[in-house]
Structures are given as structure tokens and as C-alpha cells.
Structure 1
Amino acid sequence: MQEAFDIIKDIPWWGWILIFLAIVAIADIFFNKKHTIKHNFPVVGHLRYWLESIGPELRQYIVANNREELPFNRRERGWIYASAKNMDNYEGFGTDQDIFSTNYIFINNALLPYKLPEGHPNLKNSGFVPSAKLMGEYNKRRRPYRPASVINVSAMSFGSLSAKAIESLNKGCKLSGAYHNTGEGGFSPYHQKGADVVFQIGTGYFGVRDENGNFSMDKLVEMVDSNPQIRAIELKLSQGAKPGKGGVLPAAKISKEISKIRGVPMGKDVISPPYHSAFSDMDDMVDFIEKIADATGLPTGIKSAVGQLNDWENLARIMEKKDCGPDFITIDGGEGGTGAAPPSFADHVSLPWIYGFTDVYKVFQKHKLTHRLVFIASGKLGFPAKATMAFALGADLINVAREAMMSVGCIQAQSCHTNTCPSGVATQNKWLQAGINVKDKAIRTNFYFTKFRKELLQICHASGHEHPCQFNTDDVDINLSDKNLAKTLATAFSYHKDKVNFASVQELLDCPHLGGNLNLKKMRKTEDAID
């Protein structure tokens, strides 16, 4: 025994390395039943899988150039991070974009920019950009709602995102006057930190379901009556990442708290059906929307990705006939991606936002219904120039999701569905969440929204307008694929946006239904910090 111990003790450090490699080689050759590469190239074959595992990071930080990476390139992420940190988000020496590429947009500035008159609200707060339209006005809802910000947080549920991420976003929305969409995962305590809330009802009816998993109007009314910060209800029909396919929350991400909020068991994947059980067809859906609006008094709308247009035509005809229906419509682009999805869905099912929105807008324009609806745009529009294009096409509000996640620390690791998000934003792992400083991330969310609106308003004024709702389809040109000729949006998509009933920003400020719990003095302090 002593001799064996002496032999082991005399083995040099490099000898232990050789022994370890020999054991790995034996295991690869004789016990590995899954990986051919490891069997045929023992030890060395492990490098292949290791390099593959860090491939996204290598491409993101070393290989890809500033404008190459998807879904968001380095320049786009850099603008969000700099804005959220209240740092310099300018770039020097001209653009590095390929301005002759297909679908590149040009905003047509005016010869003389819009000049703010004496006493204008934006002289004191250049980030104050409320909605020009009042949700629920046409249908005479008991509690109509005017969002205090045209840029807001899109639907991302507690469960998909961590508690600290949701709380950071909600507190940031409170500071900036934006609303916070709950996503389909229910109304959590982390959505109750002071911001206006749009409560989303998905096919699983989480938070408003009975013991059998069916929709419960009583639970919805009780929740709305107990939480006046809930200002609107959104009925989710589908989302851009996976339209026609229900959501999935893996069992690994379901904590006791999530189980209680959603009303689902622990230890099992939560799978939302692709369809609603509360209604069966378009007529039923419109009646269901009216029942919700009547019971809660809140503006009620729908969210959907766009594919076939016959259902949209049918919806427009029903709204025209019954003189009722959704107060707002959120159009999600097929490029949306906060929900994990099979590549076949994420890559191919549903139209990109610009095609889907223009198709749907023209349907409601044909039926003379655009004045009754607030159009909400969602799908990689979290940048001032893209938002300008959306307003020019007819959007009234912009919802941002992944861009808002980046403002609280998301690094585009694309591991949202694995519960291993390294930034703690999209995981229920307590250790990974621990690095999120809620107070700091809330301030960053606030800065992102404030800088976004400020720059959007500067573009607006440069184009001769007072408010983004005044953008029209002749204000923006887009490069087309035929010889890259640039044409106006009006020419490219064959319609002119209907004029929005807008008098002045001051009138919006004086609206009794203006949301956001606005404290303009606090917002001005944010402006001073930015300046």
C-alpha cells in the first residue's frame, strides 16, 4: 500500500493530465454510444462540441460586423444600451448603412422644421408624446384610456421573463409614463409597481381561469375592480413568433409563485392551446369582446399576427354591421421573437410587420373603420426611424419587447427558452436573477423610453409636424427591389393613411383620461439628466 502511495505521490502534474486524457479517450471509444465524432476522434472530438456551444458568442463579439448580425445587430444593440445608460448614442463620420439596399427607408424632412410655439408642452418636456387617439372613445367605454406614451412595453409574461426583469420594466414604465402589457401569464405582483397596465388574455386564460381552465368573467371583473392601474384588455389571438401555435412554459421555469398566479400545476410544461375556448367564430369573438368591455368598462382589443386576409375582411364587415367591436388592434410582425418557437414557425409563418400591417390597414380603411380603432404596431420597431415609418403607415402606438429587454440588460444570448439566460432577464433561476439591480434597471428603462420619444419627436419636427400621428405615407420613401428605386410608402403600398383627428399636444395633455400617472416635473428631471 505504501509503495502504491509513493508511486502516486511521485507522478508529476503533467502525468495526471495524461492519465485524465487517457480515461477520457477510453470512455469516448468504448462507452460513448451517441457521438460519432467523439468515438472516431477521442479527446480531440470534444473541441468540436465546445466550439459549437460558444459559436453564438464568437459570432456576436468577434466575427460579425456592426450591421450584419440578426435579429439585432451590434449598432442597434449599442444604441439601446447607450440610450438606457444615458450615454452618448450618436455616431460619427456618417452612416455605415447600405442606403441603397432593398427596404431601406428615407424620411422626407421639411425645408423649414416645425417650430414649437411659446408655452408648448414640449418646450418643457421634449419626451412627452401621448397617444393622439383615445382608446374606447367610439364605443363609449366607461373608462376610456389615452396612453401617455406612444412607445410602450409589449406583451411579455412573468414566467417567460424573471420577476426582477418584470419589476424593472414596470417601475421604468411608471417613471416614463409608458404602459406595461402583462403578456398572457397573468397579473403578477411585479406588474403592480405603479405603471399603467394592459392585461392580456391568452388562450390559456391564465389569471382569469376557473378550476377547469375555462375563462372566468367573474375573476376578470374582480381583478380589474381591485387594480385600477389596469387600463385596457388585450385578447391575444396569436403572436408573431408562432401564430397558430400555443405558448409553452417549460416545467423547469414554473415556480410555486408562477403556479399560483397562473393557476396551473407544478412539474408539468404549461401548454396553451392554439385556439380560444370562450368563442368559436368571428361573430362570437366580437360578442365576447363586447361582454368583456361591458363588464369591466375598459377598452378591449385584439392582438394578432397576419397571414390570410379573409378573416380580417370578415371582422371588418361584422364591425360595420354591428357598429361595435375591438377598440384597438395590435399587429405583430412575423419577425417577432420573445416567444420561443420551432424554426419553421419563427422563420416562415405569418407576414413581416410592414406587409401584414399595410394589408390589414387597407381592409379597415376600405370599410371606413380606421377612425374607430387605435392601431398598435409590434415587431422590431424599437428605434426612432422605424417607429416613424410605422406612424406614416397608420400606426398610433408602438409596442417594444426585445428592445425593452435589452434596456434592462438582455445581451441577445438567445437562450430565453432554456432557463439559462446569463443576464437574468429570461430565467427563473434565482442565482442568475440576483445580478439584476431593479432600481438601476428601472432607471435605464426610463431613459430608453425617454430618449426614444425625444429622438422620434425631433424627427417629427424635422419633417414639419407637431406629433407623430401627423406623419403620412408621403413622408417616408422606401427602396424597392426593382433597380432599388425609392418610392413613397403611399406608392409602394397603394394607399394614403387616413388623417388622425389631432388638434394639439396641449389638448392631449388636458385630456381627463390621460394615463401614465404623469408627473411632468419628474419627467422634466429625467430630461435635464439626459441633456
Structure 2
Amino acid sequence: MHSDSVVEALAIAFIWVIGLAALAVVVLFIIDVSQTRDAVRRNFPVIGRFRHLFTELGEFFRQYFFAMDREELPFNRAQREWVERAASGKGNTIAFGSTKNLQPVGTPIFVNCPWPTLDEDAVEAEPLLIGPGAAKPYLAPSFFNISGMSYGALSKPAVRALSMGAAKAGCWLNTGEGGLAPYHLEGGCDLVFQIGTAKYGVRDREGRLSDERLKAIAAHDEVRMFELKLSQGAKPGKGGILPAAKVTEEIAEIRGILPHVASISPNMHPELGSKEDLGAMIRHIRRVTGKPVGIKTVLGAYGWLDEYFEWIAAGHDEEAPDFLTLDSGDGGTGAAPMPLMDNVGLVIRESLPMVVDLRDKHGLKERIRIIASGKMVTPSDVAWALATGADFVNSARAFMFSIGCIQAMKCNTNRCPTGVTTHNKRLQRGLVPEEKAEKVGNFVNGMRDEVGIIAHSCGVRSPRGLKRFHVRIVCPDGRSRAMDELHPAPVRQS
């Protein structure tokens, strides 16, 4: 008797479920045929809704099931997995051969030496001095460092992890344009303070550069350099974008802005309109802070840079930037307009040789250090940049991968599932800074080691020994040519 009652109850429940489902379908049908915003749903009520569902889910299914290891953009599975292995301290060996296609035009191929460097003869890349004319120049110990990512764009635990990890690895951490947060200082690492067009963290009430705030930032021993951002690769000609959902009370206080209001930076520094203006601002910031000052830009038009270097070489040494961070036109950010992200700015593969040659042509190699940035994720990327002439290499998204980013493409929504770019406390809980800091340190050390492996294969003792003649570039005819042939050293102007 008891079993009959159970069966009867289940039957009634099943009928209710079917009835509710049928009712839901009817309601959705009425809503779809009545609405006027979506033609697919209006013409194909209820089933038209699956189009949006599959479109949303397609991104994630491709990431895990359908895209080949080297297909996905902006970063493919092979790149992400290399970062994960390095960050976890795992070995770098793979089986059965490479999945990388070496035939596409522009692919760099390193030329191995018949007598490679023995392990016992290898040396670490030596530190380089930045800002010899500053009161407090910076002897930068690492050729691989963390690029600008603001607190606000990144979460609190993400910034803490990067700060502690950078200290473990002995590299610098760029604050991004969002100001100096306590979490940047927490790890005790070397910091580069970035000054964006909105002057976050160093602005007065009117949004102008404040000498008093500059001095306060420079008073922190951890802050080693200042970087004046002219533009970045994902949005050249557009200022920073921080959605209102990310502008918390704390972030607003750090930046000097209103809370819970979207923060849109100007698309340029209003006080800059010429090379003389730029030189004057660099000189002023260096004098106020006593520390090296550089600029960050993505190259588009380049005639101005040639003129600027020529002007510096003609007797304006105090107006020279101590370093130039060159971003790539395919750089990344949490929020940017698609027309800029997709179409504006030269990629680093083209712009870096040009900028290095322009600097060297005017005899400024020891005066202005060049930092390459933009999709520098794997050892081959970093080794290519050093061989091309960069003094340092920065990476941002690679470090996001190292602390758990899965390329969910939700950075601008405040719903990052890994806690890296969200201020949702529940989602942040998954990111444990102390554990991720170890991964940051492992990643930097793994990068240095494997760039060293490439250098030793080419017959040089240190990564800084890599030169253009160590690299060949695949050309449209299918053959490779030496990079020093494609980009010969410039004739220095007297």
C-alpha cells in the first residue's frame, strides 16, 4: 500500500512538472511573439532563445573542446598551458614533437650554434642601470617584469599576489594608472608608478598633476621609477576605462575620484602638445621625485619619435625619458572599444625594430632603455624581443594566467570566475594571494631559465647576449632571412 502511495505522489509531481513546463513555454511564446527588439525570437518564438544561449556557451566550448592547441585568440591553449606549467614549477619537456607551425610569415626561428654554451659557462643576465641622471637611479635586476595593471582593474587579492610574487622573483611590478594601493606595497617589491592621463593618485582637485602627491608617492622606497603613459596598445587614443561597478569607495579614495561612477580618463594629457611639452613634463617629474622617469606608448605615427630623439641628442638630455615602454597594437586591457582594440596601432613585431633603430641612430642607447610589452607570454617571445634590441620585457596577461586567469573574457563585467578582475567578495575567495605568489615567482624564474636555454643554444652565455643575427624570420616566399638583414643596424648620426 505504501509503495502505491509513493507511485501516485511521483505521478502527480510529474504531471505538475510537465504542466509548469508547458505553462512556461506558453508564457515565453507570448513574450517572444509580442516583443519587437529581436527578430529571431519574434519569428521563431521560444526556440529562437537557444541562439543566444549557444552563442554565449560557444566561447567556452571552443576553449575546452573544439579549438586546436594553437588556434585560439587572444592566447591559445599551448601558450596558457606553458604559463601554467612554469607557474606550477613543473618541467618544460613535451613529447612527440612540436605542435607549432613554423611556416607562417613573420615566425622567428632562432639559429642554434654548433658549439652551444655549456651549463657551467652560463651566467645570469646582468642588471642594467636606468636613469643615470636621476638623483636616485635604478639598477634593475630582472629583464622580465610585470606590466601595468591597476588596482581596480585587478582585484585586491590579485594585486597582493603579484606584489608578493614580484618580491620573491626580484622583478618590478608596474602599478598601472590606477594609483598606489596599500596592496602594491604589501610584498615589498620594486614598483614602477604609472601616471595616466587622469593623473590618478597624483592629481589635485581639478585633475592636474600635484607636486605634493608626487613627492608623497616618491617617498616610498619601493617606488623606483615613474612611467608617464601616453597610450596603450589595446586603446591608443583612448583613456582608461573603469566601469562604475568596479569604482568602490576604496578605489575612489586611492584614485581621487567619485565612487560608484564610471571613471573615463582623458584620451591624452591635456598639457602635452609637442615634444617640448613632453620633455618639460619628464624633467619636472624627475626633479620633483628624484627618480627615473619614462614614457609608455604604442607606436603608430613614428616621425614624431625620430624628431624627439634628434631633439634630445641635440642638447636636451634633461628632457629625455630614462626609458621608453613600447606597447603592441594587439595589447590587452579589461575594457576597450573594439574598433581601437582590433584596428589601431602597430604590433610589437613591427614597431620594436623601428624604435630600437631610431634610438640607436641618435646615439641614445645608453641614455634611454627600451622596454618591450604586448603579448610577451612565452620564452620565444621574450628572447625575440631581447635579440631585437629591447633592454627589458614586460608582460601583463601572462601574469594574470600565472595567478589563475582562465581567459573567461569577463574582465569588464565584474564577474571574473577566478577572482582576478572582480571585486565580488565571493568570487575573490578563490584566489589565495600567498599561494599564487609562489606561482608568480615560479613563472618569472621559469621564464628566465628558458630564455637562457634559447640563448645557450645560440652560443651566448646570457640572454642579453642575443642579437638580431641569432634570429631568422620566415618571409612570404617561404624562406627565412636573418633579422639583421631585414633590419640592419642604423648608421649613427653625428
- TM-score norm. by structure 2 comes to 0.93
Please tell me the residue identity of whatever aligns with 2:384: M
Aligned to 2:453: 458
3-state secondary structure, aligned to 1:302:
strand
Aligned to 2:483: 489
Matched, 1:221 2:225: no
**How many Å separate the matches in 1 of 2:80 and 2:412?**
21
Aligned to 1:431: 426
Matched, 1:199 2:193: yes
Q: Percent identity?
A: 37
Q: Which stretch shows the higher mean deviation, 279-288 or 144-153?
A: 279-288
Aligned to 2:6: none
Give a deviation string over 1:122-143, Cα, whole Å, max 9, x none.
Answer: 5xxxxx5443x20012xx2111
Cα deviation for residue 20 of structure 1 reads: 1.8
Please tell me the residue identity of whatever aligns with 2:207: G
Please tell me the residue identity of whatever aligns with 1:71: P
| Residues 469 and 36 of structure 1: CA distance in aligned 2, closer, same or farther (over 3 Å) | same
2:361/2:491 contact within 8 Å kept: no
**How many Å separate the matches in 1 of 2:337 and 2:13?**
54
**How many Å separate the matches in 2 of 1:186 and 1:43?**
48
Can you give the 5+ residue segments of structure 1 that lack an aligned partner in the other structure? 1-7, 123-127, 499-531
**How many Å separate the matches in 1 of 2:455 and 2:77?**
26
Pick from 16, 20, 44: which aligns with 1:16?
20
3-state secondary structure, aligned to 1:233:
strand
Aligned to 2:129: 134
**How many Å separate the matches in 1 of 2:62 and 2:491?**
41
Aligned to 2:70: 67
Matched, 1:51 2:47: no
Aligned to 1:238: 231
Matched, 1:167 2:171: no
1:473/1:497 contact within 8 Å kept: no
**How many Å separate the matches in 1 of 2:275 and 2:401?**
37
Please tell me the residue identity of whatever aligns with 2:17: W
**How many Å separate the matches in 2 of 1:58 and 1:172?**
32
Pick from 352, 355, 370: which aligns with 1:375?
370
1:394/1:497 contact within 8 Å kept: no
Matched, 1:440 2:443: no
- TM-score norm. by structure 1 comes to 0.87
| Residues 188 and 497 of structure 1: CA distance in aligned 2, closer, same or farther (over 3 Å) | farther
Aligned to 1:97: 100
Aligned to 2:3: none
3-state secondary structure, aligned to 1:371:
coil
Aligned to 1:87: 90
Cα deviation for residue 160 of structure 1 reads: 0.8
Aligned to 2:393: 398
Cα deviation for residue 11 of structure 1 reads: 4.3
State how 1:22-37 maps to structure 2 within 5 Å: 22-30=26-34, 32-37=35-40
2:40/2:48 contact within 8 Å kept: yes
Aligned to 1:524: none
Cα deviation for residue 16 of structure 1 reads: 2.0
Cα deviation for residue 299 of structure 1 reads: 0.9
Cα deviation for residue 156 of structure 1 reads: 0.6
**How many Å separate the matches in 2 of 1:75 and 1:180?**
25
| Residues 497 and 89 of structure 1: CA distance in aligned 2, closer, same or farther (over 3 Å) | farther
3-state secondary structure, aligned to 1:370:
coil
Pick from 301, 306, 328: which aligns with 1:313?
306
**How many Å separate the matches in 2 of 1:357 and 1:364?**
11
Please tell me the residue identity of whatever aligns with 1:219: R
3-state secondary structure, aligned to 2:173:
strand
Cα deviation for residue 185 of structure 1 reads: 0.3
Give a deviation string over 1:8-46, Cα, whole Å, max 9, x none.
Answer: 98944222211221122122223x232121122121111
Aligned to 1:521: none
1:490/1:496 contact within 8 Å kept: no
Pick from 342, 355, 360: which aligns with 1:360?
355
**How many Å separate the matches in 2 of 1:46 and 1:281?**
53
Aligned to 2:109: 106
| Residues 470 and 42 of structure 1: CA distance in aligned 2, closer, same or farther (over 3 Å) | same
Cα deviation for residue 110 of structure 1 reads: 1.6
1:328/1:375 contact within 8 Å kept: yes
**How many Å separate the matches in 2 of 1:177 and 1:352?**
28
Matched, 1:418 2:422: no
3-state secondary structure, aligned to 1:207:
coil
Aligned to 2:174: 181
Cα deviation for residue 326 of structure 1 reads: 0.6
Cα deviation for residue 313 of structure 1 reads: 1.3
**How many Å separate the matches in 2 of 1:12 and 1:436?**
43
Matched, 1:389 2:389: no
**How many Å separate the matches in 2 of 1:487 and 1:267?**
54
Cα deviation for residue 254 of structure 1 reads: 0.6
Please tell me the residue identity of whatever aligns with 1:265: L
Please tell me the residue identity of whatever aligns with 1:178: C
Matched, 1:266 2:259: yes
State how 1:493-512 maps to structure 2 within 5 Å: 493-495=487-489
**How many Å separate the matches in 1 of 2:349 and 2:111?**
19
Please tell me the residue identity of whatever aligns with 1:200: Q
**How many Å separate the matches in 2 of 1:202 and 1:444?**
29
1:237/1:302 contact within 8 Å kept: yes
Give a deviation string over 1:230-260, Cα, whole Å, max 9, x none.
Answer: 0011110000001111111111111111000
1:338/1:401 contact within 8 Å kept: no
Cα deviation for residue 266 of structure 1 reads: 1.5
**How many Å separate the matches in 1 of 2:191 and 2:13?**
67
**How many Å separate the matches in 1 of 2:69 and 2:120?**
40
Aligned to 1:252: 245
Give a deviation string over 1:157-193, Cα, whole Å, max 9, x none.
Answer: 0111111111111111010001000000000011012
Cα deviation for residue 117 of structure 1 reads: 5.5
3-state secondary structure, aligned to 2:294:
strand
2:377/2:398 contact within 8 Å kept: yes
Cα deviation for residue 497 of structure 1 reads: 11
| Residues 110 and 11 of structure 1: CA distance in aligned 2, closer, same or farther (over 3 Å) | closer
3-state secondary structure, aligned to 1:192:
helix
3-state secondary structure, aligned to 2:139:
coil
**How many Å separate the matches in 1 of 2:419 and 2:99?**
32
Aligned to 2:202: 208
Please tell me the residue identity of whatever aligns with 2:244: A
| Residues 19 and 116 of structure 1: CA distance in aligned 2, closer, same or farther (over 3 Å) | closer
| Residues 63 and 400 of structure 1: CA distance in aligned 2, closer, same or farther (over 3 Å) | same
Q: Which stretch shows the higher mean deviation, 275-284 or 54-63?
A: 275-284
**How many Å separate the matches in 1 of 2:109 and 2:354?**
21
1:381/1:398 contact within 8 Å kept: yes
**How many Å separate the matches in 1 of 2:332 and 2:110?**
27
